[in-house]
Chain A
């Protein structure tokens, strides 16, 4: 145990040389703590609702990050798993009156099981075949949600009228206690971030990345690629399932329509988040989720000033789509990748400058994440 914690401390020190703490880690920590102040900073209930949406998206995106970002497997069934979590929670809450504390693990586990069930056949193929098979499963699950009316109430979906269970005197009812619901969701968003961080630091995470980087090589070194892909997919499903509970409470319903987790639109949007944020960075999905939710808020008034005028949903989606295309073409490593590159260039320039001044060189740039 002692040895483990010592090696962990070693890892931390190696990854975060002291020189970087002031320039990156501190500003980053402040930025990450900022959402705690959101109820005080955001001027309207509408914006706080958007912050809740961002927190929910973040959990989903962090889940997708494990299977797509870390392990390199393009799952097109991820948002469907989110829906599976929401349906599980709705059924357990409506028919059996389960408390929120029980719904969260239950939804997570059911989505993880669904992920593994899809993964067992799907991971027998690779590359595009895998992507398409997951898409086919997503379509089948959507058909099930629409047609198995006894269970899912068909296209109308399931309504949930009970708010999350209160903890002692703290209530989470979304109309009168939106702040509290926001903090509850945010807590799980932070947990999901801690989750992807811990996975990245662990042997499991390194194995995922080995598979992404070079599957044959990983296999030749004794890594059971199939098993680890299943584990990654199961973990990503767990994240999505947990997020499903918050989606359900936030919308007070779950249905399989065109703007639900079962739509291709969301599948695309979550890929967009990870790509814009940076698929090779731990914070990529977080950055992407925040941009995806708040960018239209920023863009809308700006465009309102131009001759384009009112920004319809269709126009926002055109902007999203174009952004995805441009990101892939010009910044395939996303915002986080760009930032890292810029910082690396800056650090190198500084070092050169110091060397010319005859000062001691600082330690090398941080390792990639």
Chain B
């Protein structure tokens, strides 16, 4: 197993509150890695730190051996680490095709590694070809979610960070998305995905990391993690909290 992304001792505080507290992660080449944890456990903050949107307070992020901790988001993206967003994931006042064109990063000195021949090719892959002349703000939510994923793919990623891609999707749509992510993996792109929906992530991922109040509390294959007493107590706690709130 070759580690492409190595995170060591990553910490981030917001106004004295520790959102991340010394997190270590290795992402292996070609895998689909899951990142789960209750609300406020620091999942999105971790992605923000890796992709340069938030400066960590301490720790390092290595991408293929290169320290990228202090780089700007666009520099990190050009190195091949591309993320998606939970909200505001497309360019609203542009057509679907223009969206992909805006993100397209194909010709980069000879060997591009770009998996898709053209923007239209990518739109076919996403199943969005029939919507290509529609404004991105006018397409259904599920399609917009796919388009957001497509933008990240157009940017020619080696590692794709997906921030809750299945949030707000129904079961069928979720299954389609899981299939799409598997196909992305088959293209040779490593995937790291945050998700709340446990069945979704259990079936999709080979390995899962569990985050709780900014700390990594478990790591392993889905079955191992699901039976980890620490994880059970954290998630049961959340469940009780939800039940008592309603």
Q: Which A positions have Cβ atoms within 8 angstroms of B?
A: 14, 203, 206-207, 209-210, 213-214, 216-225, 280, 364, 367-368
Residues of B within 8 A of A280 (CB): 93
Chain B residue, CB-CB nearest to A365 = B133
Chain A nearest CB from B56 CB (Å) reads 17
- Out of A214, A222, A224, A364, which one reaches B91, CB within 8 Å? A214
9 contacts between A and B (CB under 8 A): A206-B94, A209-B91, A218-B91, A219-B53, A219-B73, A221-B105, A222-B74, A222-B105, A225-B74
A1 vs B72: C-alpha distance when bound (angstroms): 34
Q: Is the CB of B91 within 8 A of A220?
A: no
- Among A206, A214, A225, max chain B CB count under 10 A is at A214
Chain A nearest CB from B165 CB (Å) reads 14
Residues of B within 8 A of A225 (CB): 74
Chain B nearest CB from A363 CB (Å) reads 9
B158 within 8 A of A: no
A216 vs B51: C-alpha distance when bound (angstroms): 11
Residues of A within 8 A of B105 (CB): 221-222
Q: Is the CB of A367 within 8 A of B102?
A: no
- Digitize B39-72: 1 where CB-to-A-CB distance is under 8 Å, 0 elsewhere: 0000000000001010000000000000000001
Chain B nearest CB from A181 CB (Å) reads 39
Chain A residue, CB-CB nearest to B79 = A222
Q: Is the CB of B82 within 8 A of A209?
A: no
A220 vs B161: C-alpha distance when bound (angstroms): 11
Q: Is the CB of A368 within 8 A of B94?
A: yes
- Digitize B89-106: 1 where CB-to-A-CB distance is under 8 Å, 0 elsewhere: 111111101100111010
Q: Is the CB of A220 within 8 A of B133?
A: no
Q: Is the CB of A221 within 8 A of B94?
A: no
Q: Is the CB of A222 within 8 A of B82?
A: yes
B83 within 8 A of A: yes
Residues of B within 8 A of A368 (CB): 93-95, 135
- Out of B78, B91, B93, which one reaches A217, CB within 8 Å? B91
Chain B residue, CB-CB nearest to A213 = B91
Chain A nearest CB from B24 CB (Å) reads 24
Q: Which B positions have Cβ atoms within 8 angstroms of A?
A: 51, 53, 72-74, 77-78, 82-85, 88-95, 97-98, 101-103, 105, 133, 135, 151-152, 154-155
- Out of B51, B90, B133, B154, which one reaches A14, CB within 8 Å? B133
Q: Is the CB of A213 within 8 A of B85?
A: no
Residues of A within 8 A of B91 (CB): 209-210, 213-214, 217-218
- Out of B74, B92, B97, B101, which one reaches A213, CB within 8 Å? B92
Q: Is the CB of B155 within 8 A of A221?
A: yes
A206 vs B95: C-alpha distance when bound (angstroms): 11
What are the 7 closest A-B residue pairs judged by CB atoms, nearest first? A222-B77, A213-B91, A210-B102, A222-B78, A221-B155, A219-B73, A221-B103
Q: A207-B102, A210-B102 are in contact. Are A217 and B90 (CB under 8 A)?
A: yes
- Out of A203, A216, A222, A367, which one reaches B155, CB within 8 Å? A222
Residues of B within 8 A of A219 (CB): 53, 72-74, 77
Chain B residue, CB-CB nearest to A207 = B102
- Among B74, B83, B94, max chain A CB count under 10 A is at B74
- Out of A203, A206, A209, A220, which one reaches B51, CB within 8 Å? A220
- Out of A203, A213, A216, A364, which one reaches B94, CB within 8 Å? A213
A218 vs B82: C-alpha distance when bound (angstroms): 11
Q: Is the CB of B101 within 8 A of A217?
A: no
Q: Is the CB of A364 within 8 A of B155?
A: no
Chain A residue, CB-CB nearest to B161 = A220
Chain A nearest CB from B240 CB (Å) reads 35
